[in-house]
Amino acid sequence: MTTYRSQTKTVTIGDRVIGGGNPVLIQSMTNTRTEDVAATVAQILELERAGCEIVRVTVPTMEAARAVKEIRKQIHIPLVADIHFDYKMAVAAIENGADKIRINPGNIGGREKVEAVVKAAKARNIPIRVGVNSGSLEKELIEKYHGVTAEGIVESALDKVQMIEELDYDNLVISIKSSDVMMCVRAHEILAQKTDYPLHVGITESGTVQSGNIKSAVGLGIILYEGIGDTIRVSLTGDPVEEIRSAKLILRTLGLRRGGIEVVSCPTCGRTKIDLIGLANQVEEMVADIPLTLKVAVMGCAVNGPGEAKEADIGIAGGIGEGLLIRHGEIIKKVPEAELLNTLREELLHWEE
């Protein structure tokens, strides 16, 4: 496997650093009206609690740009301003304290307007994320490559980067996104070999929580496994908090992040005598606020449960009206089914190796 991540430049966003082999950071984006400071702050604080490390807000109006200043005072993670079409919003967001801005230089109105944004960013030394989506690929590139292709997306992004470099600024992050998972993977493979700027990675317009999670896990899984990517967002049509949970699980599954309790559970079968689906979901929700790093197994069969759970640190297995508490494959105690969840929680709250 070729590793690209350590080869990227470092970029500072607020008090966080990406690139250069630093940990991959998790992002999300609010879905509140940015002009509504109270609602936006409330959502960001909820995202922080879930583990969000960088947050983006849309800035479509001057009122939203001014709100950036008030929002920034009340949160604890870097704030990115997302701009489309109007360069004045980018300048205003920078002046109001955004830690980073996201623009597509191709849609904010020509070189002079890009230059105004770069000048404002340079004055405060804040990074610019150059974002290109497959859906906004230029007509000439579509014609050149006979359709929307990975090569076209990369060329479009590098053209925009070059435009900013020619204005003597290189405090940049690049993002290239597509809802076509394998096209997105290929584009990142090409881009990683052509630039050393840090990359923000995501599968855009990936869909609902179910389909979006699958597409994001596949796409981000491949890209990150190849060593590409310095910060990620799992884009879902749903509660932004779900994006954070999914991103953490993707990073943990790839061995790129430790921390938190991992819940494993067996598929149901004819031997299952308890509501395993409900119990597994309850366990996953219950452990979310417990600051441990270990694996918890939830098994539906008291016959095979202990053996199947031996690779977990602790687990429970259900029987008929009762269940087993298991530690490293060894049965610790038998408890009534109704007490399984609380018994497990008490064990975790008093966990000692």
Q: Which of 97-101, 145-149, 260-264 has the lowest mean pLDDT?
A: 260-264
CA dihedral for 290, 292, 293, 299, sign (positive or negative)? negative
Q: Cβ neighbours of residue 56 under 8 Å, at least 6 residues apart?
A: 27, 28, 29, 30, 79, 80, 81, 82, 102
| 345: containing domain | 260-349
Do 215 and 73 belong together in one domain?
yes
65 by Cβ neighbours in 10 Å (0-12 / 13-18 / 19+) ranks as buried
Contacts of 103 (CB under 8 A, 6+ apart): 83, 84, 87, 90, 114, 117, 128, 129, 130, 131
Residue 35 — pLDDT band, cuts 50, 70, 90?
A: very high
Say what the pTM is. 0.84
> How many distinct structural domains can be found in the chain?
2
- For residue 199, what pLDDT band results from cuts at 50, 70 and 90? very high
Q: Give the chain's radius of gyration (CA, Å).
A: 23
Q: Tell me the pLDDT tens digit for each residue of 171-197.
A: 999 999 888 899 999 999 999 999 999
* pLDDT per position as a tens digit, 205-214: 666 888 889 9
Structural tokens at position 9: 């430049």
Same domain, 107 and 239: yes
Ranking 38-42, 95-99, 259-263 by mean pLDDT, the lowest is 259-263
Contact 24, 31 (CB under 8 A): no
- What single DSSP character describes residue 237? B
Task: Examine the pLDDT at 306 and tell me if it is beyond 70.
Answer: no
240 and 287 in a single domain? The answer is: no
Q: Which of 272, 271, 290 is nearest to 280 (CA)?
A: 272
Is the domain of 133 the same as that of 219? yes
pLDDT computed for residue 1 by the predictor: 47
Whether the pLDDT of residue 50 is over 60: the answer is yes
CA distance linking residue 197 with residue 192, whole number of Å: 9
Q: Are residues 31 and 14 both part of a single domain?
A: yes
Q: Is the pLDDT of residue 282 over 90?
A: no
Same structural domain, 282 and 232: no
